[in-house]
Amino acid sequence: MPRSQSTPVRRSLLLIADIGGYTDYMRTHRLSLAHAEVNMARLLDRVVDAAPGFDLVEIEGDAAFMSRPAAGMTEADLVRATLEVAAAMHQAFHVERRYVGSNLCPCRGCTEVDRLRLKFVAHVGEVATQTIRQRQKLVGIDVIQVHRMLKNAVEIPEYVLLSDDLHRLAGATSPPLGTPIDQDLEGIGPTRAFAVDVSDLPATAALPSPDPTLRSRLRRTLAVAGAGTPYLVGLRRPRGAAR
């Protein structure tokens, strides 16, 4: 049996950036599936790059699970950091989505990338790091809770869902921060969270838009075709492919 090691429990800010529409996006034929995989990887890379204050814990299919130590941060800082990084990641995602969609490939993996959306769930709690076979994972009931929050009844297309534990750190605000959402989380029980529309968050600094010239679009088309070849010929398996 592999031996595992755990670190002392610490308080952390937990954030999951989840790309909505991923399942339908990946249900397509082989060429489109290869390009969809390449495009998803680019989108997730840009999302993670837009959160320099957070550590990437793991890429989980269509989502990036991230954390940040809460030590040294005030209660207000925890909420502010969550909303600021969500705004930055959201903006980077949409800039990259326009870039990906500007190539000339007619497959669904390229033409339907504009259907993808980005949503977030965030929580603050106690976690430990467990190492098994030289791989590190965050563990604890609060890690379970933030993942359970992904299944919710929020109707806003792109949102930040703050757990009640995190939301209350903001104190009283005017207008109130977010819309209350009651959930019954498996293994956790009844909880309340608050959904904030990403479009209501202050915009971050403007990012450059894709170059619309024909040459640049051709270059992007060749790039996605080259990167998708290993998936197309079976050397690599797209994460959405049937086993």
Structural domains present in the chain:
4-232 (3.30.70.1230)
CA–CA separation, 241 and 41 (whole Å): 15
Q: Mean pLDDT by 10-residue block, N- to C-terminus, for the chain (243 residues)?
A: 70 96 65 79 94 94 94 93 95 90 82 90 95 83 97 95 96 86 94 95 69 76 75 59 42
What's the pTM? 0.85
pLDDT, position 195: 97
CA–CA separation, 212 and 75 (whole Å): 44
pLDDT, position 19: 94
Question: 10 to each of 13, 59, 220, how far by Cα in Å?
Answer: 10, 22, 44
pLDDT, position 135: 78
